[in-house]
Every structure is written in structure tokens, then in C-alpha cells.
Amino acid sequence: MRSEILYPGAFPLVKIELSAGEQIKAESGAMVGASPTIDVESKMEGGFLGALSRKLLTGEKFFFQTLRASRGPGEVLLAPTVPGEIVILELDGVTEYMVQKDGFLAGADSVRIESKMQSFARGLIGGEGFFILKIGGKGPLIINSFGAIHRIDLKPDQEYIVDNSHMVAWSATTSYTIERASSGWVASFTSGEGFVCRFRGPGVVYIQSRNPGGFGAWIRQFIPVSE
């Protein structure tokens, strides 16, 4: 698997070259184009119950796709749904990343994806749903964001505060607690900036420069409401 990001910036594509017999995992619906040698299989990562619970609790797509170069070498083109940057992380077999449900685009077959029920409070107010993806294993992992991806490096015990709707992925060695952004529940609910996450190192946190929920709200004001 050799991957290359084309048109870096807001509207990138990833080109992945596969040798014969090689396969990758991709978010279903991410495929834009492929050589005729590539076959697409939908597979339920994490078993039926895992897939079902992901579907029910995160509204996420039921399947990941497996793209396999079954009939000889070929290439696939992948793109995320939202405008934003794509980043390729090389997993070393030890490092694990927690990835919010919309952040996963593709990964090598040797990349391991689990959906994980997280703590109730984090699920409820953390903004990324009750399930997040825990991704480990070895090989390239391709994540995408809404807007640009910004990397924050945290030394041991170093802290950083991130608005919860901007989180994309973070290494499993970091920990975080959820805090209210502003004083008073009413203020948080009405200002729309509910909660922030206080991350604590060591590790890396990837955040997105735009907030999908905020953007949605901004768009909605231009959509006429029928009486």
C-alpha cells in the first residue's frame, strides 16, 4: 500500500496504490474511483453486534468497506464527505489512537479498528457519541477532518484545552476530562459552546479547525423554514 495525498488543502483526494492481493479498509462511501482490478467488499468490522451498536448509537455507517486488489495491482481514490484536510499517520504497532467516528477515512489491512463504548459522561456530553474508534496495529492510518488538521504535542503532564466539537484523534496515552466551557448550564446550552476537553499528556492530539455542528447551525439560518 502506497498512499499519496493529492490536492492538499480543503478538497484533497487520497490515491492509494495496491499491489496484487493487497487490501485496505475504508470508510464506506469514501471511494471516488478505482482501477478495474479492485473489488469492494463490505465487512462488519468488530462483528455484527459491534457494527449494530455503532450504527444505533453513533448513527455511523454500518459497514466499513474492504477494497481488495483481487485481479492484479491497481489504485483507488478516496475522499471524505466534508471539505477538509487528510492526514496519514504511520502506526508503529504500539501507538494507539482514539478517533472520533467521522475522523476515519482508511487504513491498511493490518490496522486494527475497534469501536469502543466510552464512559457515560464523556459519551453524553463529549460530543463524539457513545462510541469512538480505537485504532491500533501497524501500517498507515488515514484520517480526515472538517477544515484543517492541527496537531498538538503534549509532553508528560502537559495540559491543553480543546473544544469538544473540534476533536479528531488523540493518542491513547493521553487522558482527558470534560469541563463546562462557560459558567452556568443555560449559558453553555444557549451559546452553543457546550463543553471543552482538558487533555493531559504525554501524547498527540489532532484537532480540526472547523466545527461541523457550528457550521451546520450557520447553514440552517439560510434555509427557509416552512410554516
Partner 1 sequence: MIPHEWRETLPRMSSSPNALCFGHEFPTSGVPCLVQIGLQGLTVVFTSDGQEQQEDIPFTALSISVGGLDHDHLVLKWPSKQGERLLYLKDAELIRTFRRVAPPSVHIPFEQAASVARLARWRRMGAWGVAFGILLTGVAGLWWGSDLLVALAVERIPVEWERKLGEAAYRELLARQDLVKEGPAVSAIQEMTRRLVEQIPHNPYKFEVTVVKSDVVNAFALPGGYIVVFTGLMQNAACAEEVAGVLGHEIHHVLQRHGLERIVKRLGLVVAASILVGDQRGFAGLMKQFSVEFVGLTFDREQETRADIAGLHLLYDAKIDPFGMIRFFERLSANDEGRMEWLSTHPMSRGRAERLTAELAAMPQLTPVPFTFDWAAVRESLGAPPSAEP
| Binding interface with partner 1 (CB under 8 A) | 92-96, 98, 117, 119-121, 124-125, 153-156, 170-176, 185-186, 189-190, 194, 201-204
With contact defined as beta carbons under 8 Å apart, do 172 and 96 qualify?
A: yes
CA atoms of 18 and 38, how far apart (whole Å): 9
Q: Residue 56 or 124: which CB sits closer to partner 1? A: 124
Minimal distance, residue 176 CB to partner 1, in Å: 7
Q: Residue 11 or 189: which CB sits closer to partner 1? A: 189
Q: Residue 186 or 219: which CB sits closer to partner 1? A: 186
Distances (CA, A) of 104 to 6, 48, 78, 89, 110: 18, 19, 12, 11, 15
CB neighbour burial string for 76-85, b if at least 16 within 10 angstroms, e if fewer? bebbbeebbb
With contact defined as beta carbons under 8 Å apart, do 74 and 37 qualify?
A: yes
| Beta-ladder partners of 17 | 2, 75
Minimal distance, residue 154 CB to partner 1, in Å: 6
Minimal distance, residue 200 CB to partner 1, in Å: 9
Q: Residue 74 or 203: which CB sits closer to partner 1? A: 203
CA atoms of 80 and 106, how far apart (whole Å): 10
Nearest CA among 166, 154, 218, 222 for reference residue 195: 166
CA atoms of 145 and 73, how far apart (whole Å): 29
Minimal distance, residue 170 CB to partner 1, in Å: 8
CA atoms of 129 and 98, how far apart (whole Å): 13
DSSP state of 126: S
Minimal distance, residue 204 CB to partner 1, in Å: 5
Q: Residue 43 or 151: which CB sits closer to partner 1? A: 151
Minimal distance, residue 23 CB to partner 1, in Å: 22
Q: Residue 144 or 164: which CB sits closer to partner 1? A: 164
